[in-house]
Structure 1
Amino acid sequence: MKALLCDEPGRLTLVHRPMPVRAQDEVLVRIRHVGICGTDFHIYAGKHPFLEYPRVMGHELSGTVEEAPEGSGLAAGQPVYIVPYLSCGHCHACSKGLTNACQNIRVLGVHCDGGMAEYLSVPVRNVVPTGKIALEDAAMIEFLAIGAHGVKRGGITAADRVLVTGAGPIGMSAIIFAKARGAEVAVMDTREDRLAFAAEGLGADYTLMADADADAAIARLTEGNGFDVVIDATGNAGPMQRGFAFLAHGARYVLLSVVRSDITFADPEFHKREATLFASRNAQPDDFAEVVRQMEAGNVPTRALNTHTGRLSDAVSLFTEWSRPEAGVIKAILEV
């Protein structure tokens, strides 16, 4: 079978590999669509903190069942999406239902080879029928679930004023699900095109440039109070640290981003606000189900989000092209 291998930072190779051998408790999936994530671009650029090379990337996956074990409820040819978090099921976190934070977790395309290949064999519990969702759209379920999980972690309600910092795909997913809960949502970014899309395509109520005037703009917008919830999706330590200054008293700060470096904040400022800091890692089954519900309800603009498509066989050149900011990629999807 064909697979796309990231040999080292900046170098991709289309290779031929043996077909995966399905274990007794696994499903062999014929991969049809692979969403390209910021994680994949970070791997390509050598910036991911949890990865060893070489690696077959790809964790936003949809396809059709090739082979499935008896009693799995899955049949050959059935459209499915893949939950890419391979949890152990027996550690302390898993025993509490926190499979997204499994102590022995392996994420497809990060800790082990992923789905930028023609076939992939994964445990039955990680394969979910797409239902009414088109296969191409199903390749976006995972990244949307990341935002849905962050919104859930922040306990967002219609009474909240929310700021999402970083208007990349993950930030956009947070906007979608914060709006679905009825919150008033502002978004901050350095790119005017992303801010325009967040307002026009996703219904963000306010947009803010991440510049030297941002603090004053936020003070005006919130009457000097700050935001009830701040969700960071920048993937950059500087903005993550700056976000602490945007918190209202009693606010919640949700870090969707993960970076290699330490981040710091002023404890007196954080303490006097009695603020709460949340990490938000991966997503849980109910987050995936929420994405599907919102997709089926027509509340996710999938066609607008999917700005670029290409074939796996062309991915070596496409990665270079799509990684440029001027390419205007929101979500790129490879067809396999």
Structure 2
Amino acid sequence: MDALVCVEPGRLELAQRPVPEAPRPGWVLVDVAYVGICGTDYHIYEGKHPFLAYPRVMGHEISGRVAAPGDGVALQVGQPVIVNPYLACGHCVACRQDKPNACVAIEVLGVHRDGAMAEQVLVPESNLYPAGDLSLREAATVEFLAIGAHAVRRAQPWAGARALVIGAGPIGLGTALFARIAGLDVTLLDTSAERLAFAREELGFATIDGSADVPAVVAARTDGESFDFVFDATGNAQSMQGAFAYVAHGGTLVLVSVVKDAIAFSDPEFHKREMSVVGSRNATREDFEHVVRSLREGLVPVAKLLTHETTLGGAIADLPRWAATRAGLVKALVKVGG
């Protein structure tokens, strides 16, 4: 079968890979339809991912159709499905608490093992959710939107609260959309004028220019009280540290993205606010199902988010170009099957 392989940093090849073996009981062979390109994929291509062995078939934002179900699987051949790419062990301390997204031995498709930038992928049935009447293009957005939905759920927000989302990339936009669905009054902060214009003009969010005097603007926007909920989706240590200052007394900071660096903060400022700091990692079935319901109800303007599309062969040129300059790019899809 055809597969797009990142042979080494900066080098992509369209290669022939063996078709996956017939699925064992409880597993399913999936014909891949669409794969979203994530920031993780760009980092893999650029050699910036800290825990990756090359060569690697990328791709973890996946939609497809059941090709061959293993014994005991209820899904039917041809059924459209959404793939949860987080393969958990099922018995570690996190899994026992129903938190497979934080599994001690987690394997993510396209990162720890080969992913879905290939014609077929083998997945446990427990990681497949029926797409129902969603189009396969829409179904390929569920995973990245679930990251934001999970971050909002982790915050335990209340309707009417003021929320600041820092970072207007795809994950930040997804977080902002699901914060709005949860009833929050959402503002987006970024240093990119293009991203802010998209968030403001296409999605209807209030915005703050990160190159301005942000503390002064935050104070003016919140009557000096700061934001009840702050979500940092930048993947930037300096931004994550700065986010502490924008949280109201009694408020919550959710760190959506992750960095290798140590994060430092002022303990007196942290304590006087009695603020909560929450980590958010991946997503669970509950978040995937919330996203699917929201898409069906028309609460997510998914057509505006899907700005670019390519093929496995076309991605050899397109992915490096998009990694170098993302002007006009929100979310790109790779069309594999149909």
TM class, shorter-length: over 0.9
- The answer to whether the Cα contact below 8 Å between 2:25 and 2:73 also exists between their aligned partners in 1 is no
2:9 corresponds to 1:9: yes
1:172 match: 173
Alignment of structure 1 residues 1-336 onto 2, 5 Å: 1-21=1-21, 22-204=23-205, 206-336=206-336
Distance (Å, rounded) in 1 between the aligned partners of 2:177 and 2:309: 22
Distance (Å, rounded) in 2 between the aligned partners of 1:215 and 1:235: 20
In structure 1, stretches of 5+ residues that fail to align are none
Large movers: runs of 4+ above 6 Å: none
Distance (Å, rounded) in 1 between the aligned partners of 2:148 and 2:111: 19
Q: What CA deviation, in whole Å up to 9, does each residue of 1:48-90 have, x standing for no partner?
A: 2332222111000001111002442211111111100000001
- The answer to whether the Cα contact below 8 Å between 1:49 and 1:259 also exists between their aligned partners in 2 is no
Distance (Å, rounded) in 1 between the aligned partners of 2:66 and 2:191: 42
Distance (Å, rounded) in 2 between the aligned partners of 1:47 and 1:158: 38
Amino acid in the other structure paired with 2:316: V
Amino acid in the other structure paired with 1:330: V
DSSP-derived class of the 1:43 partner: helix
The CA deviation at 1:304 is: 0.6
Q: TM-score, normalised by structure 1?
A: 0.97
- The answer to whether the Cα contact below 8 Å between 1:248 and 1:273 also exists between their aligned partners in 2 is yes
Distance (Å, rounded) in 2 between the aligned partners of 1:95 and 1:31: 31
Percent identity between matched residues is 52
DSSP-derived class of the 2:158 partner: coil
Amino acid in the other structure paired with 1:60: E
Distance (Å, rounded) in 1 between the aligned partners of 2:9 and 2:225: 43
- The answer to whether the Cα contact below 8 Å between 1:179 and 1:203 also exists between their aligned partners in 2 is no
Amino acid in the other structure paired with 2:226: G
How many residue pairs get matched? 335
Q: What CA deviation, in whole Å up to 9, does each residue of 1:110-129 have, x standing for no partner?
A: 11111110010111111111
Amino acid in the other structure paired with 1:279: G
Amino acid in the other structure paired with 1:26: W
Segment drifting more, 229-238 vs 20-29: 20-29
Distance (Å, rounded) in 1 between the aligned partners of 2:27 and 2:153: 30
- The answer to whether the Cα contact below 8 Å between 2:148 and 2:175 also exists between their aligned partners in 1 is yes
DSSP-derived class of the 1:20 partner: coil
Distance (Å, rounded) in 2 between the aligned partners of 1:331 and 1:238: 25
Distance (Å, rounded) in 2 between the aligned partners of 1:31 and 1:326: 25
DSSP-derived class of the 2:70 partner: coil
- The answer to whether the Cα contact below 8 Å between 1:175 and 1:202 also exists between their aligned partners in 2 is no
The CA deviation at 1:40 is: 0.8
In structure 2, stretches of 5+ residues that fail to align are none
Distance (Å, rounded) in 2 between the aligned partners of 1:239 and 1:60: 26
- The answer to whether the Cα contact below 8 Å between 1:321 and 1:327 also exists between their aligned partners in 2 is no
Amino acid in the other structure paired with 2:95: C
DSSP-derived class of the 2:89 partner: coil
